[in-house]
Amino acid sequence: MIQLTRLNNKPLTVNSDLIKFIEQAPDTLVTLITGEKIVVLEKAGEVLSRIIDFRRSVLQGLSLSWDPSSIHALIARSSGSGGPAPER
């Protein structure tokens, strides 16, 4: 989710996964996959930057919780090599 600002200066939180495209002419028009259109104060580049920052933070959170050693156990189980037994 990203925070944007409507033309009346009211904050708006948008699910960035629903953004279909962003137009800059002269106001910034955000079109959602639902067809809804939202005019915001931020420039198109700023909206894009917020989307990238949000997605980067989500992916970084996933990588922090990723245990690379778990992939070895998965591979061993699927190949039948009899790797270490899963902990209970």
Note whether 12 and 36 are within 8 A (CB): no
**pLDDT, tens digit, for every residue of 2-57?**
999 999 999 999 999 999 999 999 999 999 999 999 999 999 999 999 999 999 99
Domain boundaries, the chain: 2-79
Give 41 or 83, the one with higher predicted confidence.
41
pLDDT of residue 60: 83
Q: What CA–CA distance (Å, rounded) separates 31 from 87?
A: 48
Q: What CA–CA distance (Å, rounded) separates 34 from 2?
A: 17
